[in-house]
Amino acid sequence: MPYSTAPARTRRNDPGRRDRIIDACLDVIAESGVAGASHRRVAAAAGVPLGSMTYHFAGMDELLVEAFTRFARGVSDQFEQRMTAATDVDSARRAVADLITRDVFGSQRDLVLTHELYTLASREPAYRVITNAWMTRSRAALERHFDPVTAQMLDALIEGLTIHRALDTKPQDPALVRTAIERITALRSDTRT
């Protein structure tokens, strides 16, 4: 294996470069936070010269928006796929429980990135567009199996349980997650008004 596995691009022709920068940006954020994501650090992680940063992106904000848009889309895709795979209400409940108990944001990376995104969204409306699209898709996916109101409540419950499970240092009881899902999704006659 004498050469790099990459096809040794000439400098004029590297169509994937922009994408690689975005991916590297997410890696750096996961590692060092939005605060630590400088042009230089991202460039080094992506293996591109510093000048490429300003060439491909107008500023750090543009890069961040694109990076988090890609991240949210990826997580949404995965969630949607799971919900589509569920055939009935019970398997949907099980899929949701698995999502919370097993994935727990699929390792540290997704957890950190999600919180970084929420932090940005809590301050700047531009990022709220991303979180809103994410929430909308999650609810739509849940509505394949639950009524809209239940879907929205379940979406919030998933959020809270996932965060608390990820932050809690004590061991968790999976039964609690199942019970919570059952209570929220249980069909009842007294839905009020």
Partner DNA sequence: TCCCTATGTGTACGATCGTACGCATGAGCC
Partner DNA sequence: GGCTCATGCGTACGATCGTACACATAGGGA
Q: Which residues bind DNA (CB under 7 A)?
A: 10-14, 17, 37-41, 48-55, 59-60
**Residue 134 token pair:** 């994410």
Q: Output 63 or 161, the one with its CB closest to a second copy.
A: 161
Which one of DNA, a second copy, none is in contact with 78 (Cβ closer than 5 to 8 A by kind)? Answer: none
Closer residue to DNA (CB): 38 or 172: 38
Closer residue to a second copy, CB minimum distance, 81 or 122: 122
Q: Which does 49 bind (CB under 5 to 8 A by kind): a second copy, DNA, none?
A: DNA
| Comparison of 80 and 159: residue with beta carbon closer to a second copy | 159
Cβ-based burial of 15 (10 A; exposed 0-12, middle 13-18, buried ≥19): exposed
User: Using an 8 Å Cβ cutoff, are 145 and 83 in contact?
Assistant: yes
Nearest Cα neighbor of 87 from 157, 149, 144 is 144
Listed in sequence order, the residues at least 6 apart from 54 whose beta carbon sits closer than 8 Å to its beta carbon are 39
Task: Give the interface with a second copy as residue ranges (CB under 8 A).
Answer: 33-35, 108, 111-112, 115-116, 118-119, 121-123, 125, 128, 131-132, 135, 149, 152-153, 155-161, 163-164, 166-169, 175-176, 178-180, 182-184, 186, 188, 190-193
User: CA 124: distance to chain centroid?
Assistant: 18
Q: Which entry of a second copy, DNA, none binds 12, CB below 5 to 8 A by partner kind? A: DNA
Torsion angle of the four alpha carbons 138, 144, 147, 151, in this order, in degrees rounded to the nearest 10: -20
